[in-house]
Amino acid sequence: MKNKHLRRVVWITLLLILLAGVMLLALAVGETSFSILELVRILKSKSGMEYSIVYNIRLPRILLGLATGGALSLSGALLQGIYRNPLVEPYTLGISGGAALGVAVTIVFGLDLSLGTYLLPFSGFAGALAVVFLVYFLAIGRSNFNINRMLLIGVMISFMASSAMMLLMAITSAENLHSIIYWIMGSLDEPDMILIRTALISSVAGLVISYLFANQLNALRLGVTRAKHLGVNTDLTIRILFIIASLLTGICVSIVGVIGFVGLIIPHLMRLLIGSDYRILLLTSFIGGSIFVIACDLVSRTIIAPNELPIGVITGMVGGLVFIVVLSRSKFKIQ
Amino acid sequence: MKKLILNFCVASILLLTIFSCNTSQQKPAEKNEKLRIVSLAPSITREIVDLGLKNNIVGATSYCEITKTIKELVIGTATEVNIEKVILLKPDIVVTTALTEPNIIESLRKNGINVYLVSKMHSFGEICSHFKELGKLLDREAVADSIIAVSVKKIDSLKSIIPAGTKKKKVFFQIGANPIFTVIPNTFMNDLITMSGCENIASGFTKGTITRESVLQRNPDVIFVVTMGILGEDETKAWQSYKDMSATKNSKIFVVDSDMACTPTVLSFTRTFEQVVTNIYF
Amino acid sequence: MDNFILIDKLVCGYKTGFRLQGISTQISRGSFTGIVGPNGSGKTTLFKAITGEIAIMSGNILLDKHNISDMTSKQKAQKMAIVTQNTEIADMSVEDYVLLGRMPYKKHFQLIDKEKDVEIARKYMKLTGVLKYKDNLMNELSGGEQQLAAIARALTQEPDVLLLDEPTSFLDISHQVQILNLIQNLNESMSLTVLMIIHDLNLASEYCDYLLMMSNGSIYTEGTPEKVLNYQHIEDVYNTVVFTQQNPLSKKPAIFLVSEKLYKSAGKNL
């Protein structure tokens, strides 16, 4: 027992150190890079262009990456726990489809709700919520719901949202098309601090609340029936966790667009490296996701500087590669 | 007496026939002078109107200003063209830009339609020479020449009021948001900057995308943001949040109407240039 | 005969139409009761009603005078534990698996396993003989060992009642005997009330002190193995010819199946 605890503490410490390291690196590196000493000097000066770059541009991106990477990973872990399906991730459920559709509708119909910067995040979130409600009431509303039914409905809605979006994209102007596609591909370039703070607070809150259900999630690994036999209120647990995961995903997608793969890969990677016990998996997924997204963002804004690649491209390619490498080196079990 | 009346009638009928033939011959002559023009680009339509040929336009795109009031003229969008409709209009000339797909142009030409293709204009000079060519084509060369002359004079006078001896200002001209797009060299909009005696911060760029960090790092003295509808309103606010940037410190962040600034016509360029110079120096 | 478990005119079932037709019976505390009957007679349905997996349509089930419909999942899990035919396993160690038995006693933010919980788990792992595998993964164990681990997990819930649904069906005879011996020991030493669905009538006869024979959704007969397991009852319920005799060692009824060939040749003598 002691060994297991020690091992977990060591891993978490390592992850936290890695997170700090990646954040520091992301602060220092960019189109112009600074050394650590220079970085300290710049931060102390509190004025000047270099300070603006580090404090007003890079730092918000890093914080946003931390929040969204953590939240998306956490959602993935929660959903994989509820559905007991390794292919489930926040986007399989149609949440991102709904968000993208919401944004597309706003752009194509030129809706101006006097929300300024918050227009697109608002429409994205509204779209995501609409999908969540739909899935919830179609599948969970009844007292004896079927998990697989929920998954199917989510996938179906995802496809429908995609089709609706393609319809909109086919009839709209080139510049609208460009905007929609750019939004879909994801970007951490969001200067509004209120949105960033929302992301940070909600992702951390999500993590804390999820921990209330860590034990139940472990019991659910044996299946819904067994978990019930062990005294778990599976209905309540699944509903609450579904809502948490959906909200976290909705918030992330509406602020940064669709950054795929994080919710799928990071939890599996953490399972392989550290273990499937949810008491540790929730935290490791969160930190792992943060590290991953911050690192990918760093690559996306430096690899073709002064231009920027959409972060979704990097997460997809790097994530996929890393995963295949780790996978081929170990026995794979997901439950 | 009967024979006289009959002869008179025959003579009158013959005379009338001769005269009516003459008048009907005149009608085709008038038709030839009324040019039927179809424009496949808003900037072209604007230029045709500038040349005084508004009534000769028989077809235009849904983005052209003229179709806002005369909806029947619509024959397509900026990129898509209803070929059948264009053919049925029997235009004398179709003027288009590189925005239209080559196969549409091919299609039109195969159907015997005269298509005049305007290539991309990379400078104000090219805008002027193109305008002159268009004028020649539409038999309004003199009008074109005079418009060009007036505009060049206006531009020269604006150039002359630029304070001498000032250090070259760095200008960032934003033409897109999400992702951020900047004006790059070898485009006509770049002339707005260089002719104002300033330097484009994207002077080494070949592609138009740029990151916020890159802009900040180059510390522009003046920023122009074109109107971009709901998406661009907050770009100005965003730039203003960087308090240490030169443009923010000197309150030199301006909004420019995108229709005026981004349309490659002599008159709109001149108007834009006037705003640019005024904003930068005064 | 106390009514530790009282089932009173229980009606429950599925949308397909199959119902338990108002079953009433009593189970004594500390008894080792076997439930036998052909496939589809309602044995598992009865279990599902007791654990709360299916809803009770009418009637009551009372555990130690408390109506189970009034109990929360957690309370039920503290009172009864169930082991099924096939162990649902996951990618976890045997110790972690057995520790899940302490779920009904865990508080919300209790993320670290208490010393007491670990002790209890290890005690039962030792009892069932799987302590030596505590750090192995569940899927590294054989079927029989997994079943033993499942029993350890059930015991770790420290229930008053242990429900077993055909715990030996997929096991070889050595494991069958091992597990049933273990259960019998627990039943006697811990006064653990055991309710076991079992197909093998001989094993039922040997180990159970009370039997419920079910047929078509109701209890056909109940009582000691001697009373229940005669050829008349078995033929009626199972619709198959058997030959019963007393086991010379244990004095319990032993059931012999009769093949068609045997029946044809020795039919009149049965």
Both tokens of residue C174? 């050595």
Contact (CB<8Å) A52/B245: yes
- Cβ-based burial of A8 (10 A; exposed 0-12, middle 13-18, buried ≥19): middle
Contact (CB<8Å) A231/C104: yes
* Top-ranked range on mean pLDDT: pick from A84-93, B224-233, C104-113, C177-186: C177-186
Position A272 scores a pLDDT of: 86
CA C124 to chain centroid: 18
Q: Give the residue on B whose Cα is nearest the Cα of A53.
A: B213
HEC assignment per residue over A279-291: HHHHHHHHHHHHH
C-alpha angle A212/A323/A72, rounded to 5°? 35
Contact indicator for B172, B201 with CB cutoff of 8 Å: yes
Task: Spell out which residues of chain C touch residue A274, defining contact as CB-CB under 8 Å.
Answer: none
The C-alpha atoms of residue A96 and residue A102 are separated, in whole angstroms, by: 10
Mean pLDDT over A34-42 rounds to 87
Task: Spell out which residues of chain B touch residue A117, defining contact as CB-CB under 8 Å.
Answer: 234, 237
The C-alpha atoms of residue C168 and residue B263 are separated, in whole angstroms, by: 84
Phi and psi at residue B80, in whole multiples of 5°? -105, 140
Position A13 scores a pLDDT of: 95
Q: Is residue B63 part of a domain?
A: yes
Per-residue burial over A260-284, b = 16 or more CB atoms within 10 Å of its CB, e = otherwise:
bbbbbbbbbbbbbebbbbbbbbbbb
Neighbour count for residue B90 (Cβ, 10 Å): 11
Both tokens of residue B234? 């907050």
Q: Predicted ipTM?
A: 0.86
Phi and psi at residue A282, in whole multiples of 5°? -60, -45
Task: Spell out which residues of chain B touch residue A47, defining contact as CB-CB under 8 Å.
Answer: 244
Q: Is the pLDDT of residue B187 over 50?
A: yes
Q: Is the pLDDT of residue C96 over 80?
A: yes
| Band (C7; pLDDT cuts 50, 70, 90) | confident
Interface residues of A toward C, Cβ cutoff 8 Å, are 1, 5, 211-212, 214-215, 218-219, 221-223, 225-226, 228-233, 271, 276-277, 279, 333-335
Nearest to A280 by CA among A193, A325, A217: A217
Q: Give the residue on A whose Cα is nearest the Cα of B238.
A: A191
Contact indicator for A104, A128 with CB cutoff of 8 Å: no
Q: Give the residue on C whose Cα is nearest the Cα of A81.
A: C90
B95 plus B171 within the same structural domain:
no
Q: Is C116 on the interface with A (CB under 8 A)?
A: no
Q: Is the pLDDT of residue C33 over 60?
A: yes
What average pLDDT does the structure give for chain A?
A: 87
Q: What is the residue range of B274's domain?
A: 163-281
Q: Is residue B23 part of a domain?
A: no
Q: Is residue B57 part of a domain?
A: yes
Q: Is residue B126 part of a domain?
A: no
| Residue that has been written with the tokens 């063209």 in this structure | B81
Task: Spell out which residues of chain A touch residue B242, defining contact as CB-CB under 8 Å.
Answer: 52, 56
| Residue that has been written with the tokens 């004006």 in this structure | B183
Q: Is A112 on the interface with B (CB under 8 A)?
A: yes
Contact (CB<8Å) C103/A335: no
> How far C87 CA sits from the closest chain A CA (Å)?
9
| Per-domain residue ranges of chain C | 90-156
B71 plus B169 within the same structural domain:
no
C-alpha angle B174/B175/B176, rounded to 5°? 100
pLDDT digits 0-9 by tens, A205-242: 999 999 999 999 999 999 888 999 998 998 889 989 98
Contact indicator for A103, A127 with CB cutoff of 8 Å: yes
pTM for the model stands at 0.84
User: What are the residues whose beta carbons fall under 8 Å from the beta carbon of A161, sequence distance 6 or more?
Assistant: A94, A97, A98, A100, A101, A127, A131
- What domains, with CATH codes, occur in chain A? 2-328 (1.10.3470.10)
| Band (A333; pLDDT cuts 50, 70, 90) | very low
pLDDT digits 0-9 by tens, B99-138: 888 888 888 888 888 899 998 899 999 999 999 999 998 8
pLDDT digits 0-9 by tens, C192-215: 899 999 989 999 999 999 999 999
Q: Is C158 on the interface with A (CB under 8 A)?
A: no
Q: Is B249 on the interface with A (CB under 8 A)?
A: no
Both tokens of residue B244? 């240490």
pLDDT digits 0-9 by tens, C231-266: 889 888 888 888 888 888 888 899 888 887 787 787
Contact indicator for C196, C32 with CB cutoff of 8 Å: yes
Q: At what angle do helices C173-190 and C143-156 cross, to 10 degrees?
A: 10
The C-alpha atoms of residue A283 and residue A270 are separated, in whole angstroms, by: 10
Both tokens of residue A277? 């016990």
Contact (CB<8Å) B244/A48: yes
Choosing from B101, B119, B137, the residue where a domain stops is B119
Nearest to A104 by CA among A171, A44, A38: A171
Q: Is residue B47 part of a domain?
A: yes
Chains A, B: CB contacts within 8 A come to 77
Position B28 scores a pLDDT of: 36
The C-alpha atoms of residue A6 and residue A25 are separated, in whole angstroms, by: 28
Nearest to C77 by CA among C108, C110, C53: C53
Contact (CB<8Å) C73/A228: yes
Upper half-sphere CA count for residue C137 (Cβ side, 13 Å): 12
Give me the CATH number covering residue B81.
3.40.50.1980
**Cis link prior to B179 (omega < 30° from 0)?**
yes
Upper half-sphere CA count for residue B134 (Cβ side, 13 Å): 32
Q: Do chains A and C touch (3 or more CB pairs under 8 A)?
A: yes
Task: Spell out which residues of chain A touch residue B207, defining contact as CB-CB under 8 Å.
Answer: 307
Contact indicator for C194, C183 with CB cutoff of 8 Å: yes
Q: Is residue B88 part of a domain?
A: yes
Q: Is residue B154 part of a domain?
A: no
Both tokens of residue A93? 């459920």
B198 plus B114 within the same structural domain:
no
pLDDT digits 0-9 by tens, A304-332: 877 888 898 899 888 888 878 877 876 55
Contact (CB<8Å) C53/A228: yes
Contact indicator for B76, B105 with CB cutoff of 8 Å: no
Count of domains for chain B: 2
Q: Is residue B147 part of a domain?
A: no
According to DSSP, the β-strands at C56-63 and C242-246 are: unpaired
Both tokens of residue A334? 């997901």
Residues 190-209 of C with CB under 8 A from A: none
Contact (CB<8Å) B217/A183: no
pLDDT digits 0-9 by tens, C132-169: 998 888 988 888 888 889 999 999 999 999 999 988 87
The C-alpha atoms of residue A215 and residue A217 are separated, in whole angstroms, by: 5
Contact (CB<8Å) A307/B213: no
